Chains A and B, each alone.
Chain A
Amino acid sequence: MNSTAIGANKPHRRRAFSRADRTTLSAFVGVPLFFHLLLVWVPAILTIILSFTYWSGISISRIKFAGLANYKNIFFDTPAFWEAIHNNVIWLAWFAGIATPLGILLAYQIDRQIRGHKFYETAYYLPVVLSLAVTGIIWNFLLRPDGFVNGLMGRDIDNAISFFGNYNINIYVILTIASWRHIGYIMLLYLAGLKSVDMALREAASLDGATEWQTFKKVIFPAMKPVNVIVIVITIIESLRAFDIVYIIYGSSAGFPILGTLVFQNIAGEGASMKGAAYAVILFALSIGPIIAYLRTTFKSDVQ
């Protein structure tokens, strides 16, 4: 009896929010939005503005307009910048070409429940629990000239293998350390995605006689599109914003320049200048460019 009345009212109620609903909703949307603007966009825009000034970070009255001077300085007079770009590009290539695919492969194997998959899952995920700073500290202890590995090999500091100081190998040492964590991260993301893929798809594929590789390439991978987007975005962001591990190992010196440490080196301490802000803006532009482009093409094809 009541059901008709309720049924008639329901769609109507859904569309028009009551005052209480509206208050709740605006609070739910408005409060985070306010903090997001305040804590993310206001500083971001201020950083962009500051990158066009000379300022030591002390007493705002001393600020001076610099035009493009900071950028000119970075692009034309600072070799460390190009070294950093070089390192960040290798970092990205390594993550995109080696670490991320390895994470996906592991996820796929574990999802197929190979023997000992629970152990692998835990083992590979463990590093992700640690913060990057802790990761840096652990590996620094292991690979320093007076660290564990050199000690194990009976080498003293005068003939220690220079894992961090030899510029032919140190980028790969750093990347291996970073991958140690990144692989587990990607694995977990992908594993969660794989669990949600309908088993029927896989069965249908194998009934059609598809090989394992064909199944993955033609069936599973396309079905995983949302996760793929996240994985790609994360890979790009993690490669560009890399900082913690390098900072822990090399400190604020330019022993191993990457964009993240250049930002810090030029914005912290007595040597602070708005060159640091300009580095931050360049980093921001580099990170957001490919991501927006990628998301746009993805969503465009979704709409179609």
Chain B
Amino acid sequence: MSDATHGISRRTVLKGAAVGGLGLAAGGSLLAGCGSKSTGPLAYGARSVDAGPTAQNKALIAAYTAKTKNEVKYNATESNAFQNNLSQYLQGTPDDTFEWMAGYRMQFFAEQGLLADLTSVWDTIGDQYAESYKIASTGLDGKQYFVPKSWYPWGMHFRKSMFKDLGLSADTVTNWDEFLKMLDGMKKKGLVGFAAGDKGGWEAMGTFDILNARINGYQFHVDLLAGREKWTDAKVLDVFTHWAQLIPYMNPNVLDLEWDGAMQLLLQKKAGSMLMGSWFGGNFKEQSQADYDDLSIIPFPEINPEHGRDTVDAPIDGWCVAANGTNNDGGADFLKFAGDMEGVNATLAAKDANGALIPMTSANKGQDTSTYDAFQKEQLAVMDEAKYITQFLDRDTRPDFAGPVVGPAIQSWFKNPKDVNKIVDSLQAQWDALPPLA
């Protein structure tokens, strides 16, 4: 595959910069017996109970079992519950391999010794991945603890048919003024312009990410989340000023809807656009092929010409092996298969309840992008345009800051946008009050 087939390859992945310097101490395998044929039965912990991912996992597991004769026990947990319980889960009797996210959130658990070293897996399948994925899979000690499965970009989603009716096209919504004009046009037609939900407390973080990156640039965003810049900076207030301009075009019940509620608005053609990660394409496809074909994504518009549209949130999902699992070798062996093109193909072959293929943009560069459907090609274009890749606010900053502090702060901003000064003050105060990192 040529380099051009995969956008991320040339890009900086957040944390990658920090890790890169330490990294690449690709030591010898710590996992004995990795080369052996049978590593025995293992348990798989899924981070979703949704139909699409479940079908994918089952297909992958079936292919693995058919090949190795190793039985795989499948345990699925709803995603929020899984995350809340992860620390206890990893310290108890976890499944051997489990689904998780790349970057900071993986490094956090790797640091605590709860994840098994997967360097040997990367020795085998590493050449199937762009360097940026390896960096995102690498812990602070330079060893790999993660095998990526898929990626998706965050961007402005809309329905082609509605865009056409409104006389809009991707080229006419490239900057902030055009964007506001678009929202205004939608509002005049009685539509929700900017579908939003933040009941879950994390959804609106994506809006903060992109506004901050567009207005103040990638470097400021990264530095802010790492505590090198202040939340009380006028630049952060500027983000909220822009955000407040979007409120009149949002549905009034932002705090009553979760991401799927906002998605429903777009699905039911009650909203004209939505900022979200493209993963929800599968939900559109489940609805009908026509709805999926109607779905489209463009990068969030430019605000500050200095930064253009050079940054995108593009989280990577994948798997880890739990150090406290009973069969670390088995877990690693499974991931060697799952990360290999053979496993990727098995996953891609999975079908949803309607018998249609489940869309997935694999992290493996072996997935031929010419097989991408139209929506996936647009996702790739969004990635290709960006120079910098971030993961997502709750994957790019300290976990004891993102969930318990930033989430509630944004929610209280939605409750009363006029309180913005108080909110940024308290964000900074709460950052300053965080315990020193061990």
Residues of A within 8 A of B (CB): 54, 56-59, 62, 64, 66, 69, 72-73, 76-80, 83, 144-146, 156-160, 162-167, 250-255, 257, 265-266, 268-273, 275
Residues of chain B lying within 8 A (CB to CB) of residue A266: 400, 404
Pick from A73, A163, A269: contact of B256, CB below 8 A: A163
Nearest Cβ on chain B to A233's Cβ, whole angstroms: 31
Interface status of B271 (Cβ within 8 A of chain A): yes
On whether the beta carbons of A269 and B84 are closer than 8 Å, the reply is yes
Q: Taking A156-B268, A254-B407 as contacts, is the C-beta distance between A268 and B84 under 8 angstroms?
A: yes
On whether the beta carbons of B438 and A73 are closer than 8 Å, the reply is no
> In the bound complex, what is the Cα–Cα distance between A146 and B197 (angstroms)?
13
> In the bound complex, what is the Cα–Cα distance between A253 and B83 (angstroms)?
13
Q: Taking A162-B252, A167-B415, A271-B399 as contacts, is the C-beta distance between A156 and B270 under 8 angstroms?
A: yes
Residues of chain A lying within 8 A (CB to CB) of residue B7: none
> In the bound complex, what is the Cα–Cα distance between A152 and B265 (angstroms)?
19
Main secondary structure of the interface of B (DSSP, over half): helix
Main secondary structure of the interface of A (DSSP, over half): loop
Nearest Cβ on chain A to B294's Cβ, whole angstroms: 19
On whether the beta carbons of A251 and B199 are closer than 8 Å, the reply is yes
Nearest Cβ on chain B to A165's Cβ, whole angstroms: 3
> In the bound complex, what is the Cα–Cα distance between A66 and B114 (angstroms)?
25
Nearest Cβ on chain A to B112's Cβ, whole angstroms: 4
> In the bound complex, what is the Cα–Cα distance between A164 and B438 (angstroms)?
39
Residues of chain A lying within 8 A (CB to CB) of residue B253: 145, 157, 160, 162, 165-166
On whether the beta carbons of A255 and B201 are closer than 8 Å, the reply is yes
> In the bound complex, what is the Cα–Cα distance between A187 and B300 (angstroms)?
57
Total interface residues in chain B, CB < 8 Å: 54
Residues of chain B lying within 8 A (CB to CB) of residue A271: 399-404
Closest to B270 in A: A158
> In the bound complex, what is the Cα–Cα distance between A195 and B114 (angstroms)?
59
On whether the beta carbons of A146 and B404 are closer than 8 Å, the reply is no
Task: Other than A162-B255, A251-B199, A252-B80, give 4 A-B pairs with Cβ distance below 8 A.
Answer: A76-B429, A252-B403, A253-B199, A272-B87
On whether the beta carbons of B254 and A165 are closer than 8 Å, the reply is yes
Q: Taking A157-B270, A253-B408 as contacts, is the C-beta distance between A64 and B399 under 8 angstroms?
A: no
On whether the beta carbons of B399 and A269 are closer than 8 Å, the reply is yes
26 intermolecular pairs with C-beta atoms under 8 Å apart: A56-B438, A57-B88, A58-B87, A58-B90, A58-B91, A59-B112, A69-B435, A78-B426, A79-B423, A80-B412, A156-B268, A157-B253, A157-B268, A167-B255, A167-B415, A250-B199, A251-B201, A253-B199, A254-B201, A255-B201, A255-B411, A257-B408, A268-B85, A270-B108, A273-B435, A275-B404
Within 8 A of A (CB), among B81-124: 83-88, 90-91, 105, 108-109, 112-114
Residues of chain A lying within 8 A (CB to CB) of residue B268: 156-157
> In the bound complex, what is the Cα–Cα distance between A272 and B251 (angstroms)?
33
Interface status of B1 (Cβ within 8 A of chain A): no
